[in-house]
Amino acid sequence: MAQAKVLTEKDVRRVLLYIAAHKHPTRNRAMFLMTTNCGMRVGEVAALRLCDVLTKEGKICESVYLKPEQTKGSKGRTVILSERIQSEVHGYLCSRFKLKDLLAVTMTDTTRALFTNQKNPHRGFSANTLAQF
């Protein structure tokens, strides 16, 4: 089987410029950077829930544990979220919930999908839909 093409820094910058010029740039930027900077697969990003990335204090976690059912190969793993990714996810959640502090979000149903679409804001994206981006 052929190896997937790896994006160069120039490719990443071009994709980020494209994302910035279209709808939902904060959400799409956070999703894209989680795949490129954290090495997460599209299905893993689609499977993330609010409770996976938010602490009870409303802060973004420094790492995320992906359960076996969230990963390819059914083996759980821990993914480190860099400060940049934490900032991107924080910015996305602040714009999604129209809040500056995410503490209020922790008092709601945090089992909802982290990344949602307009059609079904509670269920979120499927891995297949996310791959279409």
Span 42-50, average pLDDT: 94
Q: Rounded to whole angstroms, how far apart are CA atoms 122 and 133?
A: 19
Asked, for residue 3, whether it belongs to a domain, the answer is: no
**Domain annotation covers residue 21:** yes
Which structural domain range is residue 116 located in?
A: 9-131
In this structure, the number of other CB atoms found within 10 A of the CB of residue 125 comes to 25
- The token pair at 88 is 């991107």
Report how many domains make up the chain: 1
In which region does residue 74 sit, left (phi positive, over 0), alpha (psi from -120 to 50) or beta (all else)? left
Kindly tell me if the per-residue pLDDT of 120 is higher than 80: no
CATH no. for residue 102? Answer: 1.10.443.10
pLDDT digits (tens, 9 = 90+) for 3-38: 778 889 999 999 999 999 999 999 999 999 999 999
Q: What pLDDT is attached to residue 1? A: 65
Q: Does 2 fall in a domain?
A: no
Does 4 fall in a domain?
no
pLDDT of 66 strictly over 70: yes
Please answer whether residues 66 and 81 qualify as being in contact, where contact means their C-beta atoms are separated by less than 8 angstroms. no
Query: pLDDT tens for residues 82-100?
Result: 999 999 999 999 999 999 9
Would you say residue 1 lies in a domain?
Answer: no
